[in-house]
Amino acid sequence: MGKRNYFLDFWKFIAAIGVILVHIPFKGTLGTIMTCVGTWGVGFFAIISGYACCGDSKVMSKKILKRFVRNGIITALAIALYMTFSYFAYKSDNVLILWQLELKKPSTFINMIFMGDFEFFYGSPLWYMVALLYCYLIFFVLVRFNLKKVIYVLCPIFAIVRIIVDSYVNSFGANWHYSGNALIGVLPMMLLGYVIADNKEKLMKIPTWILILGSVLTAAAMFTFVCVKVGSFDISQPFKMLCASFVLVLGAKKPNWYIIKPVAYLGREDSLFIYLFHFILLYILSSFMYSYPKAGRYAAWQLPLLVIIVSVVFARIVSMIVFFFKWLFKKIFSKKSAAQV
């Protein structure tokens, strides 16, 4: 995408907060709406990733491979962290033996690899990171061999499949892994993001007021239909996809619309760490809060806010540590190269 896009960075932060509220929702209609923001947010992250995969085949395929390696390292470290945390969590809950038995089952690893099911340990959010790796491999092939026509054929097919499967899961309470995987949860949105990027020149001619109106109306529709079922069906999914598309195009047209600049900064620097660490922090904070008998009925409202605040602060600290080590390595290697010259 070139320069930083403050508008999209702002919404990345909102999406990351929404994901937290999927795992620890508020009560009632507000909780349903905020959960919808989270599920929309996962698709929004994916559509941005697809948008960033469009470009010259040779140059972009190298960038995609680089992203695959970087995200692969982050995912491997995250899995190691979650596994270590889970070991001590299960040990303190006196169910370690059950977890160890689960690790001996081949089906556990088959579900993890193909369905993104990391629930045999406290690693539920990791499905997206693994799904993204699969999709980067698919996009590497598509972009490297310039299979643009294939992308245009696949995009509507996978979009329809995503709508059907996700609507089924949300309507009938089916296993969320049916939609929370690479082929349903991430690839359709990445294909859509690529198509938007490939048609950017045409889409930039759409008046800004139409993009704003489209974003607002589709957001209103997805909030309405996630709360009000049509018969027994949740039909919010197509509106989530449309809303993410409108917001992406609006961001591409108005990259400096940051709304609240500090929030845009946090979205740029910290959204990944908020996503990765909030689930562990949720376990720790909920255990701490509910250990008090007087936690009371208000804990259901206090805990989500507490998890959001702690996750944002923790992510900021991690970002600062990562920045420091990057700066340190750069300084060390620049001194070495200068000494060699």
- pLDDT per residue as tens digits for the range 158-193: 999 999 999 999 999 898 888 989 999 999 999 999
The single-letter code of the amino acid at 76 is A
**How far is the C-alpha of 270 from the C-alpha of 326, rounded, in Å?**
15
Cβ contacts of residue 272 below 8 Å, gap of 6+?
74
Nearest to 23 by CA among 317, 285, 236, 220: 285
pLDDT of residue 1: 45
Sequence spans of domains, the chain: 6-340
**How far is the C-alpha of 318 from the C-alpha of 211, rounded, in Å?**
35
**How far is the C-alpha of 22 from the C-alpha of 182, rounded, in Å?**
19
Burial string for 43-60 (b: 16+ CB within 10 Å, else e) reads bbbbbbbbbbbbbeeeeb
Nearest to 84 by CA among 138, 46, 111, 123: 123
Burial class (CB in 10 A: 0-12, 13-18, 19+), 325: exposed
**How far is the C-alpha of 20 from the C-alpha of 37, rounded, in Å?**
10
**How far is the C-alpha of 43 from the C-alpha of 24, rounded, in Å?**
19
CA angle 7, 12, 167 (to 5 degrees): 120
**How far is the C-alpha of 222 from the C-alpha of 236, rounded, in Å?**
5
pLDDT of residue 28: 87
Half-sphere exposure of 220 (CA within 13 A, CB side): 6
88-95, long-range: CB < 8 A, 24+ apart: 89/122, 89/283, 90/121
**Backbone phi, psi, residue 123, to 5°:** -130, 30
* Residue whose structure tokens are 């795992």: 23
pLDDT of residue 293: 66
Nearest to 22 by CA among 165, 168, 170: 170
34-41, long-range: CB < 8 A, 24+ apart: 35/226, 36/222, 36/223, 36/226, 36/236, 36/240, 39/240, 40/15, 40/222, 40/240, 40/243, 40/244, 41/14, 41/15, 41/16
Q: What is the DSSP letter of 183?
A: I
Nearest to 37 by CA among 223, 269, 168: 223
pLDDT of residue 112: 79
**How far is the C-alpha of 161 from the C-alpha of 174, rounded, in Å?**
16
**How far is the C-alpha of 159 from the C-alpha of 89, rounded, in Å?**
39
Residues of the chain with pLDDT under 70: 1-2, 258, 293-298, 334-341
Burial class (CB in 10 A: 0-12, 13-18, 19+), 126: buried
CA angle 65, 68, 71 (to 5 degrees): 150
